[in-house]
Amino acid sequence: MSIDLGTTYLGLELRNPLVASASPLTGHVEILRQMEEAGVAAVVMPSLFEEQLEREERAVRRLIETGKEQFEEVLSELCDLDSYNNGPPNYLGQVRQAKKELSIPVIASLNGVGPGNWTRHARLLEEAGADAVELNVYFVPTDPNVTGAQVEDRYVETVAAVQEVLTIPLAVKLGPYFSSLPNMARRLVVDVGVEGLVLFNRYLHPDIALETLQISPRLTLSTGGELPLPLRWIGILRPQLSTSLAASTGVHTSDDIFKLLLVGADVTMITSALLRHGPAYIRTLLDGLRARFEESGYDSIRQMKGILSQQNCPDPSAFERANYVKSIASSTPFRDEVSD
């Protein structure tokens, strides 16, 4: 049985739904080649961070104001933050090199908290050859005087500023923490005009080093237990929006990918699985996905995508509170030993 795993994301025709999302791995051309050979359909470059752009601008101003005698000091400040992706100037070179070496789409990534100076760098990424841009708005509101509506307006303003200067597709990577995620998604897709949403951003959370009593970010890889979050919301949003939907967070197995396609995902983003198993794991995922298609009797993604979205599934309330009490009751510990 011939299986067609082809799909469309951001208007890009992809050979399958596996996309390598932004990570340190995608910043190395040799690893990108290995990913392409293993079968990945597209790659997202490591994120270019707003903090890097701001630091670069401050450094340029300092050099103009103080002259070359402080060049080494300013350079050292830039290098600290640029170890992840080589900094703004070299990032453009990375995009160009990736486009030169790969035959699959290359998506650039911007990560920040506000409108800032994204527009200039977004244009430069397009000029460098990126097939699309993924904008990751990472804003943690801590001021109690800032309302939820103001936070959402900030997102919309940031995205609109970038969307306005691009002619290539723009996807927005969102977190799940909105009081009305469907409304936020609709504003970005319908009002701003973005071509895709990536669900979800996986935020870093603080931890405490007990030895030093210092607060520091804690980075942990995702697990399969996080899959239900994007699965739920893609299933809900699929019938509401005519846009590309990418599933991110908790994608570790071929069955995970199959489930997300069933609820309506166009592609699935993988990072933690590749960090754990390496680029060759892409073959394992694709082989397993084809086997699942054959077992289920489907010969293409087009045939089955979205058949279990909230609109199409037999019990739409299952995406909300259906069987809520029953599920909790069934998890009672030692229930076999509890007598009536």
Rounded CA separation 130/124 (Å): 9
Rounded CA separation 260/186 (Å): 20
Q: Closest Cα to residue 248, out of 275, 225, 227? A: 227
Q: Is the pLDDT of residue 300 over 80?
A: yes
> For residue range 201-249, what is the model confidence (pLDDT) as tens digits?
988 788 999 999 999 888 789 999 999 999 999 999 999 999 999 999 9
> For residue range 57-114, what is the model confidence (pLDDT) as tens digits?
444 344 334 444 444 444 444 444 444 444 456 889 999 999 999 999 999 999 876 6
> For residue range 12-40, what is the model confidence (pLDDT) as tens digits?
999 999 999 999 999 999 999 999 999 99
Percent of the chain with pLDDT over 70: 81
Beta-carbon-side half-sphere exposure of residue 36 (alpha carbons within 13 Å)? 18
Q: Closest Cα to residue 286, out of 43, 38, 44? A: 38
**197: phi then psi, degrees, rounded to nearest 5:** -125, 140
Look at the domain 7-312 and name its fold. Answer: TIM Barrel (3.20.20)
> For residue range 158-178, what is the model confidence (pLDDT) as tens digits?
999 999 999 999 999 999 999
* Cis status of the peptide bond prior to 200, with omega within 30 of 0: yes
Tell me, letter by letter, the H, E, C secondary structure of the chain.
CCCECCEEECCEEECCCEEECCCHHHHCHHHHHHHHHHCCCEEEEEEEEHHHHHHHHHHHHHHHHHCHHHHHHHHHHHHHHHCCCCHHHHHHHHHHHHHHHCCCCEEEEEEECCCCCHHHHHHHHHHCCCCEEEEEECCCCCCCCCCHHHHHHHHHHHHHHHHHHCCCCEEEEECCCCCCHHHHHHHHHHHHCCCEEEECCCCCEEEEECCCCEEEEECCCCCHHHCHHHHHHHHHHCCCCCCEEEECCCCCCHHHHHHHHHHCCCEEEECHHHHHHCCCHHHHHHHHHHHHHHHHCCCEHHHHCCCCCCCCCCCHHHHCCCCHHHHHHHCCCCHHHCCC
What pTM did the predictor assign? 0.86
